[in-house]
Amino acid sequence: MKYNRILLKLSGESLMGSKQYGIDTAMVHQYAVDIKEVVESGIEVAIVIGGGNIHRGLDAEKGGMDRVQADYMGMLATVINSMALQDALEKVGVKTRLLSAIKMEQICEPFIRRRAIRHLEKGRVVIFGAGTGNPYFTTDTAASLRAIEIEADVVLKGTRVDGIYTADPEKDANAVKFEKITFSEVYDKGLNVMDMTAFTLCQENNLPIIVFDMNTRGNFKKLMEGEVIGTLVHA
């Protein structure tokens, strides 16, 4: 299937590369080059990034911090990551716009749905920062929500694992990979693809999800060219 508009979800941890914390500029540059190739093929690209390489709200809550405060800190972490990716994309010649669910006019535009769609139509990569702007919602949920709002064809979840397996392939050598799987089968098998709110949003709006390995150079472009990479979750 040829996609016209996609939403790419990246985890904050993926930006760490080989580091234990923070942002690996070499990894961000690799992502920028991969994204540029897809943009140049004519596909409209929107991006949501997590903040786990800097701050995780759930972990902070376990340490005794107020959950709402911790989640807002996590949202700010996603803006830092979004700014790093924006910088890397513009250094390789890709026009971008950073839209935030929390107003901070000096560094990004406020999220306005029609404006986001117009940027995409003009060929700009749109990065959505600060999650949904609300505590208690993950960046997976933000990715699903924004994808639905901008009428994306698919959510691409770029991870370090090359798809969905019967068990965690990093822990179970006998884990078997799915090439395709339905939303219902994911529920029935108790597989962990996204958090349940994000996953249900996609299912109810018939928005397919592809889980793939973003860290392998060129995978993103191959996937957009129609190669079977990762796992497709469909209705």
Q: What pLDDT, in 10s, does the model give residues 85-110? A: 999 999 999 999 999 999 999 999 99
Q: Count CB atoms within 10 A of the CB of residue 25.
A: 14
| Ramachandran class of 153: left when φ > 0, alpha when ψ lies in -120 to 50, beta otherwise | alpha
pLDDT for the residue 2: 84
* 11 band by pLDDT with thresholds 50, 70 and 90: very high
**Fold of the 5-234 domain:** Carbamate kinase (3.40.1160)
Tens digits of residue pLDDT in 121-155: 999 999 999 999 999 999 999 999 999 999 999 99
Mean pLDDT of 65-69: 94
Residue located via tokens 């972490």: 77
pLDDT for the residue 1: 64
Among 119, 144, 122, 125, smallest CA distance to 196 is for 144
Q: Could you tell me if 165 and 193 are in contact, meaning their C-beta atoms sit under 8 angstroms apart?
A: no
| Alpha carbon distance 155, 148 (integer Å) | 9
pLDDT for the residue 69: 95
